[in-house]
């Protein structure tokens, strides 16, 4: 897919204030660690995750998505009456029906002729939403769209800790399939996308490539809205990287770029081993990449766009950089998006939506 009229105008993000260290989490796992004689420190060693953040108990995804969406709108300077689509793409949602996007649409006071829906595709939900909005803009159906999502990982992590400590039948092998659940963190992010006439930044989305290898869909699965994740982490890592390598070949052909043309990358945030294997396989220098997994953990579908927002805010991505957004999600699905960057507009803090609006 190639684009001529689509621009990634701004980001808004919201991070929880509560910080939980991996060391603290392992102390909470003392009963199972002692029973199975597991060494303290192995979780951080295996994943590279030092801390993650959690929203307060009972936080709804829509409440944080409204806040992040308001920030993205504010940062863009684009009137919300131009927003013709709102897509909510996180794994977490308020309930099964109606779409969580409905509450976000209402909270943001977006136009009534705005297309509103949820997208669910594991850790690729927000990137899928980004491409759907980009397609609508390219076709001239809408002028701007907002893609937003919030992952609330507290319940999954706490449920997993409780199960590990109270199920006496769990073996070391069983625990391997639950480790991924302990890497989850919380975060919220929104992206405002617009057409050429509205853009004030010139951050053009150039192309996107995708690939589905659904024969591997069983490698990471969860149950219901308050799930336990069951993940074959090692096999998922190898199959995911293989899928990424195949997609990357398509991506280079679609963008017309060579490897050396890529100035910066942002990837889904899973763990240090996966990242190392991916960059070695793609023959890319890991120095061009920006990570957040060390301090945020795996924030699901929010991970890649949230990490990109932080990379922009911290000056990692510069004017005229060619940026590759490389997403890999269970399923297995892979989506890579190329952008030519110019000007960064990011708003991320702990203010309320009302405070942001009043600026």
Q: Is 220 helix (H, G, I), strand (E, B) or coil?
A: strand
Listed residue (190, 219, 182) closest to 297, CA to CA: 182
Q: Which of 114, 123, 220, 267 does the annotation list as catalytic?
A: 123
pLDDT, tens digit, 9 for 90 and up, residues 146-157: 999 999 999 999
pLDDT, tens digit, 9 for 90 and up, residues 296-340: 999 999 999 999 999 999 999 999 999 999 998 777 889 999 999
Q: What are phi and psi of 191, to 5 degrees?
A: -125, 130
Return the structure tokens found at 238: 């190898």
Return the structure tokens found at 60: 């709804």
Q: How confident is the model at residue 84 (pLDDT cuts 50, 70, 90)?
A: very high
Question: Contact at 8 Å (CB) between 135 and 1?
Answer: yes
Beta strands 322-329; 333-340: pairing state: antiparallel
pLDDT, tens digit, 9 for 90 and up, residues 33-48: 899 888 888 889 888 9
Q: Is 230 exposed, middle or buried (0-12, 13-18, 19+ CB in 10 A)?
A: middle
Q: Is the pLDDT of residue 224 over 60?
A: no
Is 123 annotated as catalytic? yes
Mean pLDDT of 8-19: 96
Measured CA to CA, the distance from residue 176 to residue 96 in angstroms comes to 30
Is 204-346 in CATH node 3.40.47.10? yes
Measured CA to CA, the distance from residue 243 to residue 340 in angstroms comes to 24
Alpha helices in 48-110 (DSSP H): 61-76, 100-107
Question: Contact at 8 Å (CB) between 52 and 186?
Answer: yes
- Give the torsion sign (CA, 248, 46, 228, 291): negative
Q: CA torsion, points 167, 170, 175, 181, in degrees to nearest 10?
A: -30
58 contact partners, CB below 8 Å, separation of at least 6: none
Question: Contact at 8 Å (CB) between 296 and 53?
Answer: yes
Domains of the chain, residue spans: 204-346
pLDDT at 178: 80
């Amino acid at each position: 897919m190639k684009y001529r009229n689509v621009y990634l105008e701004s980001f808004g993000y919201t991070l929880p204030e509560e910080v939980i260290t991996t060391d603290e989490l392992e102390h909470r796992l003392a009963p199972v660690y002692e029973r199975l004689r597991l060494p303290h420190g192995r979780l951080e060693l295996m994943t590279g995750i030092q801390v993650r953040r959690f929203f307060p108990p009972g936080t709804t995804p829509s409440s944080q998505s409204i806040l992040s969406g308001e920030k993205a709108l504010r940062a863009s300077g684009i009137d919300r009456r131009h927003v013709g689509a709102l897509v909510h793409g996180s794994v977490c949602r308020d309930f099964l029906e109606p779409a969580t996007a409905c509450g976000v649409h209402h909270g943001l006071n977006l136009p009534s002729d705005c297309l509103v829906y949820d997208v669910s595709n594991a850790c690729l939900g927000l990137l899928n939403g980004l491409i759907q909005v980009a397609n609508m803009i390219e076709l001239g159906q809408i002028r701007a769209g907002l893609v937003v999502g919030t992952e609330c990982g507290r319940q999954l992590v706490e449920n997993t800790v409780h199960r590990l400590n109270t199920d006496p039948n769990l073996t070391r092998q069983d625990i391997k399939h639950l480790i991924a659940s302990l890497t989850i963190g919380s975060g919220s992010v929104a992206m405002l996308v617009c057409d050429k006439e509205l853009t004030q930044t010139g951050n053009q989305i150039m192309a996107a490539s995708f690939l589905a290898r659904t024969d591997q869909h069983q490698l990471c699965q969860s149950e219901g809205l308050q799930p336990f994740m069951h993940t074959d982490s090692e096999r998922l890592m190898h199959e995911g990287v293989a899928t990424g390598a195949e997609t990357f070949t398509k991506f280079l052909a679609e963008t017309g770029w060579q490897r050396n043309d890529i100035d910066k990358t942002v990837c889904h945030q899973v763990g240090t081993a996966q990242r190392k294997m991916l960059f070695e396989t793609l023959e890319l220098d890991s120095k061009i990449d920006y990570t957040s997994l060390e301090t945020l953990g795996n924030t699901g579908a929010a991970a890649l766009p949230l990490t990109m927002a932080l990379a922009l805010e911290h000056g990692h991505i510069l004017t005229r950089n060619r940026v590759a957004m490389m997403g890999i999600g269970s399923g297995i699905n892979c989506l890579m998006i190329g952008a030519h960057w110019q000007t960064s507009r990011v708003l991320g803090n702990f203010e309320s939506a009302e405070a942001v609006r009043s600026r």
